[in-house]
Amino acid sequence: MAKFERHVFVCTNFREPGSARPSCSTDGKSELHTALKNAVRAAGLGSSIRVNKAGCLDQCEHGPTVVVYPEAVWYDGVTVADVPEIVSEHLIAGRPVERLTIADECLNAAVCPHRPALVTRS
């Protein structure tokens, strides 16, 4: 095969407690990444869809964050419980999960309802 049909990046960034911005992972490992990877494999999509760990995706106030390329669909507040829906709806059926999608006014916004003005961005 050639390029991945979809490439899923899961933020696994960890910051020490008390940092200016929150972390997407509590340990730098990410059970979310493991759950997504296992679910994609179980669905028989392991060779066409890659689930990757990523460093900070810069949407920290919305984490845990996941982005799916090439369509550039961004998800926030993703938990292990959301994995079956992301896999069946988005990765298999091609319908992004709207309830998890980061709002346009929030994505990369300097200030939004979830990101106070004084946060220092990485």
Q: State the minimum distance, in angstroms, from the CB of residue 9 to a copy of itself.
A: 7
Residue 7 or 21 having the CB closest to a copy of itself: 7
Q: State the minimum distance, in angstroms, from the CB of residue 17 to a copy of itself.
A: 22
Residue 4 or 88 having the CB closest to a copy of itself: 4
Q: State the minimum distance, in angstroms, from the CB of residue 118 to a copy of itself.
A: 18
Helix H, strand E, coil C: the string for the chain is: CCCCCEEEEEECCCCCCCCCCCCCCCCCCCHHHHHHHHHHHHCCCCCCEEEEEECCCCCHHHCCCEEEECCCEEECCCCHHHHHHHHHHHHHCCCCCHHHECCCCCCCCCCECCECCCCCCC
Chain contacts with a copy of itself (rule: CB under 8 A): 1-4, 7, 9, 12, 47, 50, 52-58, 67, 69-72, 74, 104, 107-109
